[in-house]
């Protein structure tokens, strides 16, 4: 069930689990830090809101039924069973993981704390203004050989055009004679 929920969250930028809360993916804006000179890329941020009254919608159940290869009523039953087990595990163990999304931890004051599974800032490191991006080392010889091969192929296009012209002319002569 976890992989289907994760896929729905990524595709639709939201996921509601009844009697637990909602996950939402929102994008932060790109920003430039004047002090350090770093340009920070826009990145998606995963939020969790603790809403006991949140419910899922028909689009979600249609998606879930399609992904699981079952009818919609069965998908609804399986999801509600999952959400009940997920909520009871959170109450009993105090912490539960939704694979690919993150870990939910329940505090003494019944507040739920969310820790995302991935730190997306690691995937999009900041770039210092005025510096070149790091590029992998490439041997000059292999690049020049590839460029030479490409140039030779480009220079011989007209040979193929002449051959096709001759074949066309022969076909026309054969047809009309």
- pLDDT tens digits for range 113-133: 777 776 655 555 666 666 555
Q: At what angle do helices 58-68 and 2-12 cross, to 10 degrees?
A: 130
22 Cβ neighbours under 8 A, 6+ residues apart: 14, 15, 16, 48, 49, 51, 54
Q: What are 62-112's pLDDT values in tens digits?
A: 888 888 889 888 988 988 888 888 888 888 888 788 777 777 778 777 777
| Predicted confidence (pLDDT) per residue in 10-42, tens digit | 788 888 887 778 888 888 788 887 888 777 777
The reported pLDDT for the residue numbered 147 is 56
Output DSSP code: residue 154: H
pLDDT tens for 48-57 read 887 755 566 7
The structure tokens listed for 83 are 């959400």
Burial classification of residue 24, based on how many CB atoms lie within 10 Å of its CB (0-12 exposed, 13-18 middle, 19 or more buried): middle
Q: What is the pLDDT of residue 138?
A: 47
> Is a pLDDT exceeding 50 seen at residue 173?
yes
Write down the domain spans for the chain. Answer: 2-128
**Dihedral (Cα; 55, 53, 5, 122), 10-degree rounding:** 140
Q: Does the model's pTM come out above 0.85?
A: no
């Amino acid at each position: 069930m976890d992989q289907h929920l994760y896929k729905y969250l990524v595709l639709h930028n939201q996921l509601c689990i009844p009697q637990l809360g909602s996950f939402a993916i929102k994008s932060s804006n790109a920003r430039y830090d004047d002090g350090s000179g770093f340009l920070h890329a826009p990145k998606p941020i995963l939020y969790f809101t603790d809403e006991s009254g949140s419910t899922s919608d028909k689009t979600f159940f249609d998606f879930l039924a399609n992904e699981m290869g079952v009818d919609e009523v069965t998908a609804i039953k399986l999801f509600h069973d999952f959400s009940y087990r997920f909520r009871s595990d959170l109450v009993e163990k105090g912490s539960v993981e939704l694979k690919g999304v993150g870990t939910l931890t329940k505090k003494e004051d019944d507040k739920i704390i969310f820790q995302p599974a991935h730190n997306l800032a690691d995937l999009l490191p900041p770039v210092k203004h005025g510096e070149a991006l790091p590029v992998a080392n490439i041997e000059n010889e292999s690049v020049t050989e590839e460029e030479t091969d490409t140039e030779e192929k480009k220079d011989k296009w007209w040979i193929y055009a002449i051959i096709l012209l001759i074949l066309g002319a022969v076909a026309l002569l054969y047809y009309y004679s």
